[in-house]
């Protein structure tokens, strides 16, 4: 069994954003054997106060991945900002394997240049280094990009720090309840509301280009599927057939949308061609068929069905045909999310009266429960497949949490006010 | 098609129930209409409105139908006053103790072809939201089928599922869950 160390670390990442609640991220479990790395505070040549502590953002990102153990600033033997100031023997003595240094320079009105370099302490050599021109509003993004570069250079896996998370937030009680579809940076910062309603919002799904989100809104008194541009706010109603219109999922090429409709009777899976809005029926059963997700090759869908009595996962060709059952452990499996390589399926797994996030490895058939909550749901893979974000509850309040696919790293994201649910991790920003 | 004696007997019973319910409904209309056309306070039909000229006075119109009005629905002793049908966990069949209630609503709709009803299906919070949207619909559909067995027509009935999105009670315990597993019967133009 893997040894787990509890690292109760409170990272207060909340900047006062006018009228918007930020997410606070708490890392509840870390991993033994995380790589020691030093992110030295970046040099600043400007007149005024340093506009953003980039090193702190990078350190928090790397720490959150569970694969790095950033060195505390008090423990740093020196705080170099240029390569020729680096004292490698001192860092060897301190115990860091890697050191990141950098500089932030103003280049104009609200414009900056960020330079950074990553060094291997043992070899005393530079591994990578970049210069990034950036506007003031994008300084945090520059830190996320640097985190991605460092992460990829040292793990061999693409980083997912410069990505976003969409989720539904709920504030107020009873008839005062208000729903909002929000998009925040992957570290919980900079939440923005892209749609607000007095009626429920459900099931946000990112288009593969990361520019569009499909979701379910009850604004007209029943479930209908909408698509909205994340940046422009352009909004279209895609599905408003009789009965249920829900569970949108984009095809990998972004040209089709799988969804659940009950217009022909019981809820079944359909595929809508987005260019002409034509709809093709994929499943035909008297059971509840819902929650379709696409395999990365775009040829088949995984969905939830209770055709055998209880909800279980099935796979079916997009062209239709006989579905094949995928999940066999326990009496309730639903809400699938597929890893970007198509190998793993995360799901909501009913166990002992509660619901947890479980992972099925389709190659080895290994089935593993990753979380230990009572009401964990809505798993969504990070675009690099390293983590799964999901909804859970803490003292009766809906919050978001994330777990690494190996189950070793756990973190919680808490909205300051109200509750959050149904997270959807964005694709990479290309 | 031949029906068995058992089915014939239940049909007879249902028909008698319809006749009795209809008579009861008419009686309550007549009472209101003839004895006191201007009612103060104690009639809870949805159409009542404050009369601007006479503060504190409410008038109760008889409704579009003219024969049967809100009063039949708001008679507290009628099974029609029960407009929420509760369900067992993960079940969509109408419980035995609600069969008579649903039958009464079906009979009422059958006798009042102009009356329209919305069935809102709900679930408790357990399980995935999308699956629960399907389950809420299935519950509303099973109420719809029972209404139609009593002679209600499909164009009188609208089915909507809210899944777990509109709980009647907050909380993550069996007490709250029981109140949330429900189908609400909402008559068009009438207060819930």
Q: Do B137 and A393 touch (CB under 8 A)?
A: no
Residue B25's pLDDT is 43
Q: Is B86 a domain residue?
A: yes
Please state at what angle helix B129-149 crosses helix B99-111, rounded to 10 degrees.
60
Out of A10-14, A118-122, A264-268, least confident range: A10-14
Residue B71's pLDDT is 58
pLDDT in tens, A359-386: 999 999 999 999 999 999 999 999 999 9
- Nearest CB neighbour to A291, from listed B130, B162, B171: B130
Among B131, B157, B163, pick the best mutation site for testing chain A contact (most A Cβ within 10 A): B131
For chain B, what is the mean pLDDT? 77
- How far is the C-alpha of A257 from the C-alpha of A247, rounded, in Å? 10
Q: Is B117 a domain residue?
A: yes
- Cβ-Cβ contacts under 8 Å, B137 against chain A: 243-244, 262, 267
Distance from the B120 Cα atom to the nearest Cα atom in chain A, whole angstroms: 10
Please state at what angle helix B99-111 crosses helix B5-35, rounded to 10 degrees.
60
Q: What are phi and psi of A393, to 5 degrees?
A: -130, 145
Residue B89's pLDDT is 93
- How far is the C-alpha of B26 from the C-alpha of A257, rounded, in Å? 52
Q: Do B165 and A218 touch (CB under 8 A)?
A: yes
- How far is the C-alpha of A291 from the C-alpha of A309, rounded, in Å? 17
Chain B interface includes A306 (CB < 8 A):
yes
- How far is the C-alpha of B87 from the C-alpha of B92, rounded, in Å? 7
Among A173, A174, A311, pick the best mutation site for testing chain B contact (most B Cβ within 10 A): A311
- How far is the C-alpha of A114 from the C-alpha of B161, rounded, in Å? 52
- Cβ-Cβ contacts under 8 Å, B89 against chain A: none
Q: Do B126 and A202 touch (CB under 8 A)?
A: no
Enter the tokens of residue A334: 């639903």
- Cβ-Cβ contacts under 8 Å, B176 against chain A: none
Chain B interface includes A88 (CB < 8 A):
no
- Cβ-Cβ contacts under 8 Å, B163 against chain A: 202
Residue A357's pLDDT is 98
Average pLDDT score over residue span A118-134: 96
Contact A158, A148 (CB under 8 A): yes
Q: Which of A366, A364, A329, A323 is nearest to A349 (CA)?
A: A329
Residue A5's pLDDT is 29
Among B91, B128, B162, B169, pick the best mutation site for testing chain A contact (most A Cβ within 10 A): B128
Q: CATH assignment of A164-425?
A: 2.120.10.30
Enter the tokens of residue A227: 């698509």
State yes or no: pLDDT of B67 exceeds 90: no
What's the whole-model pTM score?
0.83
Contact A55, A39 (CB under 8 A): yes
Strand partners, A11: A25
Number of domains in chain B: 1
Distance from the A375 Cα atom to the nearest Cα atom in chain B, whole angstroms: 7
A348 to chain B: nearest residue by CA?
A: B128
Chain A interface includes B129 (CB < 8 A):
yes
Q: Is B192 a domain residue?
A: no
Enter the tokens of residue A291: 């929650």
pLDDT in tens, B27-54: 343 333 333 333 333 334 444 444 444 5
- Nearest CB neighbour to A200, from listed B130, B131, B165: B165
- Cβ-Cβ contacts under 8 Å, B165 against chain A: 200, 202, 218
- Cβ-Cβ contacts under 8 Å, B138 against chain A: 266, 288
Domain with CATH 3.40.50.10070 in chain A: 33-155
State yes or no: pLDDT of A18 exceeds 60: no
Among B120, B133, B159, pick the best mutation site for testing chain A contact (most A Cβ within 10 A): B133
Residue B50's pLDDT is 43
- How far is the C-alpha of A102 from the C-alpha of B42, rounded, in Å? 77
pLDDT in tens, A215-249: 999 999 999 999 999 987 799 999 999 999 999 99
Enter the tokens of residue A166: 């969409």
Residue A45's pLDDT is 85
Structural domain containing residue B37? 5-187
Domain A33-155 has CATH 3.40.50.10070: yes
Average pLDDT score over residue span B137-152: 97
Average pLDDT score over residue span A138-153: 97
Q: Do A266 and B138 touch (CB under 8 A)?
A: yes
Distance from the A335 Cα atom to the nearest Cα atom in chain B, whole angstroms: 6
Residue B32's pLDDT is 37
- Nearest CB neighbour to B172, from listed A304, A332, A396: A396
Chain B interface includes A418 (CB < 8 A):
no
Q: Which of A192, A187, A113 is nearest to A147 (CA)?
A: A187
Q: Phi/psi class of residue B122: alpha, beta or left (left: φ > 0; alpha: ψ in -120 to 50)?
A: beta
Average pLDDT score over residue span A60-77: 92
Strand partners, A9: A27
Contact A133, A143 (CB under 8 A): no
* ipTM field: 0.90
Q: What is the CATH number of the domain that holds B129?
A: 3.30.1330.60
Chain A interface includes B176 (CB < 8 A):
no
Q: What is the DSSP string of A247-258?
A: EEEE-TTSSEEE
- Cβ-Cβ contacts under 8 Å, B134 against chain A: 244, 260, 262, 266-267, 288, 290
Q: What count of residues does chain A have?
A: 430
Residue A1's pLDDT is 32
Chain A interface includes B126 (CB < 8 A):
yes
């Amino acid at each position: 069994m893997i040894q787990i160390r509890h690292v109760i670390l409170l990272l207060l990442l909340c900047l006062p954003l006018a009228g918007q609640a930020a997410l606070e991220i708490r890392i509840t479990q870390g991993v033994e054997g995380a790589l020691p790395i030093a992110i030295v505070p970046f040099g600043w040549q400007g007149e005024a106060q340093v506009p953003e502590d980039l090193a702190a953002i990078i350190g928090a990102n790397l720490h959150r991945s569970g694969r790095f153990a950033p060195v505390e600033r008090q423990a740093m033997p020196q705080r170099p900002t240029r390569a020729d100031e680096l004292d490698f023997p001192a860092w060897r003595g301190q115990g860091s394997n890697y050191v990141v240094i950098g500089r932030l320079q103003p280049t104009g009105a609200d414009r900056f240049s960020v330079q950074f370099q990553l060094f291997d302490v043992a070899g005393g050599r530079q591994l990578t280094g970049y210069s990034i021109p950036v506007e003031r509003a994008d300084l945090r993004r520059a830190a996320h990009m640097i985190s991605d570069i460092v992460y990829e250079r040292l793990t061999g896996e693409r980083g997912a720090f410069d990505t976003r998370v969409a989720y539904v937030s709920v504030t107020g009680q009873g008839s005062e309840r208000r729903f909002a579809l929000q998009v925040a940076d992957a570290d919980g910062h900079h939440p923005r509301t892209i749609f607000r309603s007095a009626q429920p919002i459900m099931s946000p799904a990112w288009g593969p280009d990361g520019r569009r989100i499909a979701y379910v809104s009850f604004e007209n008194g029943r479930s209908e599927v909408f698509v909205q541009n994340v940046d422009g706010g352009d909004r279209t109603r895609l599905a408003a057939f009789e009965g249920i219109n829900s569970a949108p999922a984009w095809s990998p090429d972004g040209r089709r949308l799988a969804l659940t409709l009950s217009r022909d009777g019981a809820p079944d899976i359909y595929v809508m061609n987005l260019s002409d809005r034509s709809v093709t029926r994929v499943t035909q059963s008297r059971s509840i068929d819902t929650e379709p997700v696409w395999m990365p090759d775009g040829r088949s869908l995984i969905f939830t069905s209770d055709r055998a009595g209880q909800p279980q996962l099935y796979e079916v060709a997009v062209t239709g045909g006989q579905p094949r059952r995928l999940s066999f452990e326990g009496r309730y499996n639903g809400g699938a999310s597929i890893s970007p390589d198509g190998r793993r399926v995360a799901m909501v797994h009913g166990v002992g009266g509660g619901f947890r996030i479980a992972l099925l490895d389709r190659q080895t058939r290994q089935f593993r429960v990753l979380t230990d909550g009572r009401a964990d749901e809505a798993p969504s893979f990070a675009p690099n497949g390293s983590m799964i974000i999901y909804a859970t509850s803490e003292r009766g309040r809906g919050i978001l949490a994330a777990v690494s696919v190996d189950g070793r790293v756990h973190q919680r994201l808490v909205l300051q006010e109200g509750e959050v649910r149904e997270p959807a991790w964005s694709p990479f920003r290309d | 098609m031949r029906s068995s004696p058992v089915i014939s007997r239940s049909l007879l019973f249902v028909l008698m129930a319809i006749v009795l319910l209809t008579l009861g409904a008419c009686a309550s209309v007549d009472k209101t209409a003839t004895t006191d056309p201007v009612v103060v306070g104690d009639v809870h039909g949805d159409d009542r409105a404050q009369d601007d000229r006479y503060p504190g006075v409410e008038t109760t119109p008889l409704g579009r139908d003219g024969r049967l009005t809100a009063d039949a629905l708001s008679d507290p002793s009628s099974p029609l006053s029960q407009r929420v049908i509760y369900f067992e966990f993960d079940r969509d069949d109408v419980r035995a103790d609600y069969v008579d209630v649903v039958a009464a609503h079906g009979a009422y709709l059958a006798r009042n072809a102009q009356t329209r009803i919305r069935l809102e299906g709900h679930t408790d919070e357990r399980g995935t939201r999308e699956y629960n949207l399907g389950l809420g619909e299935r519950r509303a559909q099973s109420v719809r089928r029972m209404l139609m067995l009593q002679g209600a027509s499909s164009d009188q009935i609208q089915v909507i599922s809210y899944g777990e999105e509109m709980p009647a009670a907050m909380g993550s315990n069996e007490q709250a869950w029981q109140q949330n597993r429900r189908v609400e019967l909402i008559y068009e133009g009438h207060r819930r």
